Amino acid sequence: MKRSVGQILGRTGIRIPLILWSLAVLYPIFWMFLGAFKSNAEIYRNPWGFPESFSFDNFVTAWTNYNIDVSVFNSLIVTVVGAVLTLVLAIPTAYAIERINFRGSKILFTVYVSAMMIPMVLGWIPLFFLLSDLGLLDNIYGLAIVYAVSQLPFSIFVLTSFIGTIPRSLEESAAMDGMSPYKVLWKIITPLSMSGIITVTIMNAIQFWNEYFMALIFLNSSENYTLALAIDFISSEAQYTNAWGTLFAGLVIAIVPVIILYAIFQRRISKGMTEGAIKG
Amino acid sequence: MVQSKKQKYLFLAFCLIPTFILFAIFTLYPLFSGLYYSFFDWSGSSQNKDFVGLANYIKLVKDAIIPNTIIHDYFLVATKVIGIMVMALFFAVALTQLKIKEAPFYRIVFFFPNIMSVVVIGILWTFIYNPNLGLVNSGLEFIGLESLAKPWLGDEDWALPSLVLPSVWAGIGLFMLLLMGGISNVSKSYYEAAELDGASEWQQFWKVTLPLIWPQVKISILYIVITTLNGSFIIVQVMTGGGPNNATHVMGSYLYQQAFVQYNFGYGATIGVMILIISLLTVLILQFIMRRDKVEY
């Protein structure tokens, strides 16, 4: 079929908003990277252009003067411990809800899923004192536990649907061969739902790496700061010190792991998030 | 399965109980004791915890800042729903209906801000709005409109609207993908039939696409509303801290200030109860308004 001139024009026209929005998304991010390599003087002279020469001074300053090294380490611990703990807690529950008949399984699932709709900010006040009583306030492991529990509803929700796709016959024949239910869960269910486990883990890890507000409330001392808090601190300092270059270096350090994960798992992440949203 | 009842229950307990105990301690208990704390005047230390009945709720009703925080929250809800839905719908239709070769590129780029940390987004945009160095004022100057340049986040009238753009910027990708999922499930034959009947592309959108992806539109709107009411305070905290002069305080950031900055924990909990009630009521009402029979042709 021959396309009319109007159609061709329309097709080009439709690209204009798409290209403009791509620029609106990419330019600030790109520019943040450039800023991380500029000196402060140059940021003032030429905030939105290319750097004259690439220098790593900002990264060095952030790393040494603002303890970013400690924050990166703290964020890594919170992310890894939180993500592993979420799995340990969520997989057995998801399996039991999906595959074992017991009274109240529907109610239990509803309780977990509806927790996704509740504004947790009300709970943060008592949680603050609870953590304080348990000696887990201002403690990155305490924060990791809070993170893990906060992502339980989402993780259980996604994992039950993945476990639901595993054929029952596999478990049944394993049980016939005398395999205990614990072994079935560990040797059959876990490997077969690996795809779901990976999706959930990446989503949770990104969430924990990025999280800001609970860290703000539950951590006080700077040696326990996660990356989000450290950057926020540099940002509030920069109002007075104008250390914008250092701030951009901090932002770059925070965003690079997310970019790498997105580059590798782009499909999984976007699918995981849209499915998480459809839960309602 | 060949196993005794006792074994079955032991396994069930192993699967469910440890998880539920942690969930109860770190999610259920804090929510319910938040309700309980709202009846106390409490500055954090255990000695000074006085039962005051409904005094905090009376204070809440009389607090002149509270109505503003609610209005600010709904302002963000309304502008975000409109901004995100209009643009996400447009992009979703453009990327699915018109055969654009580089569509995957746009999909990947538009989604990326959704997985950025709110801190990074907030700081990045604070700099974009920076009065001297920022992109917005430089851009206005460049096109000769320097009279419109202003300290966006420091201006009482403009600070709140300035928070909308970063939120829309960060949100579009997810909802675009959600809507694209809906559109790609619509059978091609509907469009062919519509075309035979001489319907323009615009009519096709209103008469075919929109009714058939209504479930996805509804979910998207509800999701934006819930996440805004429950989480708008994070970007507020990063970008303005509620200022200037309370002009950007939303319910959650006001709770944070009352509880964790001024140590009025009882009153903070009362604000939390208000957030819970407002957010649940809003969702219920919205679901009622948007209920619409499933369309099938």
Q: How many alpha carbons fall within 13 Å on the CB side of residue B151?
A: 7
Predicted confidence at residue B297, as pLDDT, reads 61
Q: By three-state DSSP, how is residue B72 classified?
A: helix
In chain A, % of residues over pLDDT 70: 95
Give the model confidence (pLDDT) of A171-199 as tens digits: 888 888 888 889 989 989 999 999 999 99
Residue with tokens 């509303």, as numbered in its chain: B225
Given 1.10.274.30, 1.10.510.10, 1.10.3720.10, 3.30.1490.20, which CATH number is that of A66-278?
Answer: 1.10.3720.10
State whether B230 and A15 contact (CB < 8 Å).
Answer: no
Percentage of chain A modeled with pLDDT above 90: 57
B residues 196-235 near A, CB within 8 Å?
A: 219-220, 222-223, 226, 229-231, 233-234
Domain architecture of chain B: domains with CATH: 55-130+159-290 (1.10.3720.10)
Q: What is the ipTM of this complex?
A: 0.90
Amino acid (one-letter) located at A234: I
- Banded pLDDT at A12 (limits 50, 70, 90): confident
pLDDT number for residue A152: 96
Q: Classify the C-alpha dihedral A62-A145-A163-B224 as positive or negative.
A: negative
* pLDDT score, position A5: 61
Nearest Cα residue in chain B from A180: B3
Q: Is the pLDDT of residue A261 over 60?
A: yes
Contacts of A119 in chain B (CB under 8 A): 229-231, 252, 272, 275-276, 279
- What would the mean pLDDT of A135-145 be, rounded to a whole number? 96
Mean per-residue pLDDT for A212-229?
94
For residue B19, give how far its alpha carbon lies from the nearest alpha carbon of chain A (Å): 5
- Structural tokens at position B145: 């409109």
* Whole-number pLDDT of residue B1: 47
pLDDT band at B242 (very low <50, low <70, confident <90, very high): confident
B93: nearest Cα among B185, B170, B176: B176
Distance to chain A for B297, nearest Cα, Å: 23
Report, as an integer, the average pLDDT of B167-186.
Answer: 91
pLDDT in tens, A92-119: 999 999 998 888 899 999 999 989 888 8
Among candidate residues A44, A47, A175, the one with its CA nearest the CA of residue A100: A175
Q: Is B151 exposed, middle or buried (0-12, 13-18, 19+ CB in 10 A)?
A: middle
Residue ranges of domains in chain A: 66-278
Contact A119 B30 (CB under 8 A): no
How far apart are the CA of A214 and the nearest CA of chain B, in angstroms? 10
In this structure, how many other beta carbons lie within 10 angstroms of the beta carbon of residue B165? 17
Which residues on A lie below 8 Å from B2 (Cβ)?
175-176
Confidence check: pLDDT of A9 > 80 = no
CB A166 within 8 A of CB A94: no
SS3 of A277, please? helix
Helices and strands per DSSP (H, E), number in chain A: 15, 0
Mean pLDDT score, B215-224: 92
Residue A108 near residue B16 (C-beta atoms within 8 A): yes
Average pLDDT, chain A: 89
* pLDDT score for B106: 93
Using a CB-CB cut-off of 8 Å, the residues of chain B touching A280 are: 219, 222-223, 226
> Per mean pLDDT, which of B145-149, B241-245, B265-269 is the most reliable?
B265-269
| Token pair listed for B170 | 């960060």
With tokens 């790393």, the residue in question is A63
b/e B180-197 (16+ beta carbons within 10 angstroms → b): bbbbeebeeeebeebeee
- The one-letter amino acid at A206: I
Of residues A38 and B68, which shows the higher confidence score?
B68
Q: Is B218 exposed, middle or buried (0-12, 13-18, 19+ CB in 10 A)?
A: middle
Residue B115 touches partner A, C-beta closer than 8 Å: yes
DSSP labels, B204-255? HIIIIIHHHTHHHHHHHHHHHHHHHHHHHHHHHHHHTTT-STTTT--HHHHH
> Which chain B residues are Cβ-neighbours of A259 within 8 angstroms?
112
Contact call for residues A68 and A253 (beta carbons, < 8 A): yes
Predicted pLDDT at A175:
85
Strand partners, B42: B49
Of residues A223 and B204, more confidence is placed in A223
pLDDT value at residue A279 = 58
- What local confidence, expressed as pLDDT, does residue A10 receive? 67
Where does the pLDDT of residue B112 fall: very low under 50, low under 70, confident under 90, or very high at 90 and above? very high
Q: Nearest 5°: phi and psi at A226? A: -85, 175
Quick one: pLDDT at residue A239?
Answer: 79
Cα of A46 to nearest chain B Cα, Å: 9
Q: Which tokens sit at A279?
A: 């839960």
What is the band of B29 on the pLDDT scale with cuts at 50, 70, 90?
Answer: very high
What is the pLDDT at residue B2?
A: 46
Spell out the residues 6+ positions from residue A239 whose beta carbon is closer than 8 angstroms to its own: none
Structure tokens at B231: 């989480």
Q: How confident is the model at residue B114 (pLDDT cuts 50, 70, 90)?
A: very high
Choose from B27, B111, B180, B232 for mutation: most chain A CBs within 10 A: B27
Q: Which residues, other chains included, contact A21 with Cβ-Cβ below 8 Å and sequence gap of 6+?
A: B87, B91, B106, B110, B172
Backbone angles phi, psi at B50, to 5 degrees: -110, 135
Residues of A in contact with B279 (CB under 8 A): 119
